[in-house]
Chains A and B, each alone.
Chain A
Amino acid sequence: MSFVHLHVHSYYSFLDGAAGPAELLEKARHFGMSALALTDHNRLTGAIRFYDAAKKLGIKPIIGAEINIEGGYHLTLLCKDMPGYSNLCRLLTAMHCSKSPDRPAATRSMLDSYHEGLIALSGCRLGEVPQLLIKGEPLGAARAAGFYREIFRHDFFIELIRHPSRRGAPTCYLLSSFAQEHGIPVVATNNVHHLGMRDYRIHELLNAIRLIVPVTQLPGPRTVEQYFKSPAEMERLFNDFPGATAMSGEIASRCNLDLELGRPRFPRFDLPVGQTAAGLLRKLAYDGTVQKYGGLTQELADRLQMELDTIEKLGFCSYFLVVWDIVRWARARGIRCQARGSAVDSLVVYALDISIADPIHYDLLFERFMHPLRNEPPDIDLDIDRRRRDEVRDYIYRKYGAENVSCVATINTYLARGAIRDAGKALQIPQATIEEACKGIHWLSASKLMEKAETLPELKDSSVYRRPDLKEFFKTCAAIDGFPKHLSVHLGGLLIGENRLSDLVPLEPSSGGDIISQYDKDDIERLGLVKMDLLALPTMTVIEEAVRSIKQGRGLDIDIDKIPRDDPAPFAMLRDGKTIGVFQLESPAQREMAGRLLPQTFDDIIVSLSLVRPGPLKTSMDKVYLKRRHGREAVEHLHPSLEGALGETLGVILYQEQVLRVAHDLAGMSYAEADGFRRAMTHDRTEDEMGKMRLSFIRCAMKKGVKRDVAEEVFGHLAAFAAYGFCKAHAAAYAVLSYQTLWLKCHYPAEFMAAILSNQPMGYYPPRVLAADARRSGVVVLPPDVNRSSDHYAVEDGAIRVSLSQVKGITGETIASIIRERGKGRFTSLRDFILRVEASQPILENLVKVGALDAFGKRGDMLAGVPTLLQFKRHTTSSNPPLIGDMPGQYDSTHVPDTIGAKQSAGPDAIVDPNHVIASETKQSFDRSTQTVRESLLNEREILSLDLSAHPLDFCNLDKGFTRIKDLPALATGRSVKLAGSVIRYQTPPTRTGKRVVYVIMEDGTGVADVTVFSDVQEKCGKYLFRSGWLEVRGKIQRRGPKSLSIIADVIKPLRQRS
Chain B
Amino acid sequence: MSKLIDEPITVHVSKESGPTAFIWRKRLYRVINILSWWREPSEWWNGEPVRILIRVTAECKRPGIYELCKSDSDWSLRRLLD
Contacts and interface: CB of A to CB of B under 8 A. Distances in A.
Interface of A: 164-166, 168, 197-198, 200-201, 204, 215-216, 222-225, 427, 472
Given A165-B38, A201-B44, A472-B47, 20 more contacts: A164-B36, A164-B37, A164-B39, A166-B53, A168-B36, A197-B39, A197-B50, A200-B41, A200-B50, A204-B41, A204-B44, A215-B45, A216-B43, A216-B45, A222-B41, A223-B41, A224-B39, A224-B40, A224-B41, A427-B45
Interface in B7-27: none
Report which residue of A166, A201, A216 has the largest number of chain B beta carbons within 10 angstroms of its beta carbon.
Answer: A166
A197 B37 CA distance: 15
A200 B43 CA distance: 12
A166 B40 CA distance: 9
B13 to A, nearest CB: 19
Contact of A225 (B37, B39, B44, B53): B39
Given A165-B38, A224-B39, A224-B40, A198 B50 contact: yes
B1 to A, nearest CB: 14
Contacts of B44: 201, 204
Contacts of B50: 197-198, 200, 224
A223 B37 CA distance: 14
B51 to A, nearest CB: 9
Contacts of B53: 166
Report which residue of A168, A224, A427 has the largest number of chain B beta carbons within 10 angstroms of its beta carbon.
Answer: A224
A224 B47 CA distance: 15
A865 to B, nearest CB: 58
A341 B74 CA distance: 64
Contacts of B37: 164
A161 to B, nearest CB: 14
Nearest to A168: B36
B18 to A, nearest CB: 14
A472 B39 CA distance: 22
Contacts of B39: 164, 197, 224-225
A342 to B, nearest CB: 50
26 contacts: A164-B36, A164-B37, A164-B38, A164-B39, A165-B38, A166-B38, A166-B53, A168-B36, A197-B39, A197-B50, A200-B41, A200-B50, A201-B44, A201-B45, A204-B41, A215-B45, A216-B43, A216-B45, A222-B41, A223-B41, A224-B39, A224-B41, A224-B50, A225-B39, A427-B45, A472-B47
A224 B40 CA distance: 7
Q: Which 5 A-B pairs have the closest CB atoms?
A: A164-B38, A222-B41, A201-B44, A224-B39, A224-B41
A197 B40 CA distance: 11
A961 to B, nearest CB: 54
Interface in B38-65: 38-41, 43-45, 47, 50, 53
A198 B44 CA distance: 10
B54 to A, nearest CB: 11
A222 to B, nearest CB: 4
A641 B67 CA distance: 83
Contacts of A224: 39-41, 50
A290 to B, nearest CB: 73
Nearest to B78: A166
A169 to B, nearest CB: 9
Contacts of B41: 200, 204, 222-224
Contacts of B36: 164, 168
Nearest to A221: B41
A164 B41 CA distance: 12
A165 B40 CA distance: 8
A1018 to B, nearest CB: 36
Contacts of B40: 165, 224
A223 B38 CA distance: 10
Nearest to A201: B44
Contacts of B38: 164-166
Nearest to B37: A164
A261 to B, nearest CB: 39
B28 to A, nearest CB: 26
A164 B38 CA distance: 5
A216 B44 CA distance: 10
Nearest to A215: B45
A747 to B, nearest CB: 65
A200 B47 CA distance: 14
A651 to B, nearest CB: 62
A204 B50 CA distance: 13
A319 to B, nearest CB: 52
Nearest to B41: A222
A299 to B, nearest CB: 71
Report which residue of B38, B40, B53 has the largest number of chain A beta carbons within 10 angstroms of its beta carbon.
Answer: B38
